[in-house]
Structure 1
Amino acid sequence: MIMLLLSLSFLVSCKDSSNPISKYGDTVIDKYKSTQQFGDRMSLKNLQQAVTTFRVANSRLPGDLDELERFTGETIDKNKFEYDSSTGTLTLKK
């Protein structure tokens, strides 16, 4: 019974936003997400540069992300990016 009460008090304290461990965990998660978003923005910039390079090399825009992927030799996460082949515009999906 005592173990059950101690376990419950621990679980309640973990949900308390003033708990230092909880705050630390939230900070780590926020930093991870921020770093991931930064990486996505950098990937977007690199892909935009690849579209420009493709256009210079081929006198046209890539037809789709698959064609750009073949041109660069790099795998493109098509779940993260949208590409408009009529304008050459790349954006991050929301």
Structure 2
Amino acid sequence: MKKILKSLLLLSVVFLLLSACEKQDKEPGVADKVQEMAKSRKDALDNSKVVAQKTELANLKAAINAYNAAEGRFPKDLTELEQFSGSAIDKGVYNYDPQSGALSLK
């Protein structure tokens, strides 16, 4: 009789452990929530960088058009545009064609 009770007790403990493991797999833990928040913040940061680049590109295109209107030609390079606009330009980020005044991100 004692062996049967011990066996039932052991089976009950195993069953409880298995059900706890299944429940834990179905419910996201704190670590999962933290990872999800970190991914969400990274995505938001990446999106804000894209928006900033597009805004800066649009501003530089407007400066190129203003230079063309003032000088009757496009700037020969981004350094000339930088001097005209008075704003620093990260020249390694853009492709610029002085013939057409076309500007794009690399």
Give the TM-score normalised by structure 2. Answer: 0.69
Superposition RMSD in Å: 1.1
Q: 1:29 aligns with which of 42, 61, 75?
A: 42
Q: 2:101 aligns with which of 77, 88, 92?
A: 88
Q: Does 1:55 align with 2:68?
A: yes
Q: Supply the distance in 1 between the matched residues of 2:46 and 2:92 (Cα, whole angstroms).
A: 17
Q: SS where residue 91 of structure 2 aligns?
A: coil
Give the TM-score normalised by structure 1. Answer: 0.78
Question: Which stretches in structure 1 are left out of the alignment for 5+ residues?
Answer: 1-17
Shift of 1:34: 0.4
Q: Which has the higher contact order (CA 8 A, sep 6+)?
A: 1
Q: Supply the distance in 1 between the matched residues of 2:80 and 2:51 (Cα, whole angstroms).
A: 25
Matched-pair identity in %: 32
Larger fraction in helix? 2
Runs (4 or more) in structure 1 with deviation over 3 Å come to none
- How many pairs align? 76
Shift of 1:81: 1.3
